[in-house]
Amino acid sequence: MIIVLQPDRDDLKAIVQRVVQVAARFEGVETRPYAHTGTGHTFTEIHLVGPTRGVPTTVFEEIPGVLRVVRVSTRYRLVGRHHETEAAGFEYNGVRFGDEGLTVIAGLCAVDTREHVDLMMSALQKEGMVTTRMGAYKPRTNPYEFQGLGRECLPYVFELAGQYGMRAVAMEVTDGRQIDEINQALADAGDPTGVILQIGTRNAQNFELLKVVGQQERFPVLFKRGMGITLEEALNACEYIASEGNPCIIFCLRGVKTHLGDPHRNLVDFAHVPLVRRKTRLPVCVDPSHSVGSVDEAVDGIPDVFHAAGQGVIAGASSVLVDFHPHREVALCDGPQALTLEQLPRFVRYVRRVRETFEESVSDTAPATAADAIDGA
């Protein structure tokens, strides 16, 4: 059971106390308060855990200052959406990840040279972009393949990020010790930028790693759906992160593994965007690069990666994670799916246009007249 308090009240502390007192009447029931920040408002919630089946909602509904009481049946209670007024998302280092707009997180799949990082970030800055992806720790299928430069590249990645005005660098971690390395490198560089910790598809059910990224609150987490797990399992995995104390999670779809997606690398699962938005309060990201796996163009001259990104954005995704490389022929990881820097402005225009169409569709509540016009023609 979740008790949601009215936001923006001066007496929130007293209301929480009253709720806790009333809950104490029920044996075995524990209370856990959480603050959830939506657009403009911070909602305080008190979660009742334990044997709540016999607890009536009315005893809490009667308390002045309680907005609503919700019985929750989902097992992902913290990341789940329990009432319509909840806005998805959070703000990090001056960037809002949420329902209000579209954030493009474009960059290198894997950092290879300082020069490529420099060229990439310079191109992003020209487009007015402040978020990027820079893989340092790469989980590779084959042990003899390039494993990423690891901490060695962090000093120049962060230095250049600061120089080019990047507010957040998305970076996969495969082990908790890498978070210490990131913290150290950021401190050494004078904290010029922020970091989003990426949980890759291969670690989507590495529960110990999920707990570790959940136990720290400094960095938000971009969680990628496991390539072969159900949506329900993926949402439970996010709950592992949130239940350890970190609610700032972006849920990323990146395609699922099945040969039915051939010749694309994965089968695009972006039809799940509205579903995740309905079931949770997590901002939803799509990764068209790892879904499609190539830069082939359709007959309309638009690359499949653009088309897939558009499918996610038109369905309501609020961020796009996408691979670019200044010289993809020499990229050490996922070069075949990397768009070129010359394609960046067009990609940004394309997804922004799709986002505008999405927003127009959301606010289009006028009765349909187009069909009448056709009938009358």
Interface positions with ligand PEP (CB under 6 A): 109, 135, 172, 200-202, 224, 254, 287, 290
Q: How far apart are CA 234 and CA 251, in angstroms?
A: 9
What minimum distance in Å lies between the beta carbon of 224 and Mn ion?
10
Amino acid at position 203, single letter: N
317 near 284, Cβ under 8 Å?
Answer: yes
Length of the chain: 377
What minimum distance in Å lies between the beta carbon of 232 and Mn ion?
26
86 near Mn ion (CB under 5 A): no
What minimum distance in Å lies between the beta carbon of 142 and Mn ion?
14
170 near Mn ion (CB under 5 A): no
Q: Which helix (H) or strand (E) holds 346?
A: helix 344-363
Query: Which 108-127 positions form the footprint of Mn ion (CB under 5 A)?
Result: 109
Q: How far apart are CA 219 and CA 162, in angstroms?
A: 17
- Residue with the closest Cβ to ligand PEP? 200
What minimum distance in Å lies between the beta carbon of 220 and ligand PEP?
16
Q: Measuring CA to CA, which residue among 158, 147, 167, 160 is closest to residue 185?
A: 158
Amino acid at position 38, single letter: G
Q: Which is nearer to ligand PEP, 172 or 269 (CB)?
A: 172
Q: How far apart are CA 253 and CA 58, in angstroms?
A: 39
334 near Mn ion (CB under 5 A): yes
What minimum distance in Å lies between the beta carbon of 337 and ligand PEP?
10
Q: Which is nearer to Mn ion, 4 or 227 (CB)?
A: 227
172 near Mn ion (CB under 5 A): no
**Residue 254 binds which of Mn ion, ligand PEP, none (CB < 5-8 A, kind-dependent):** ligand PEP
Structure-token pair, residue 329:
């022929």
Q: Which helix (H) or strand (E) holds 33?
A: strand 30-37
**Residue 269 binds which of Mn ion, ligand PEP, none (CB < 5-8 A, kind-dependent):** none
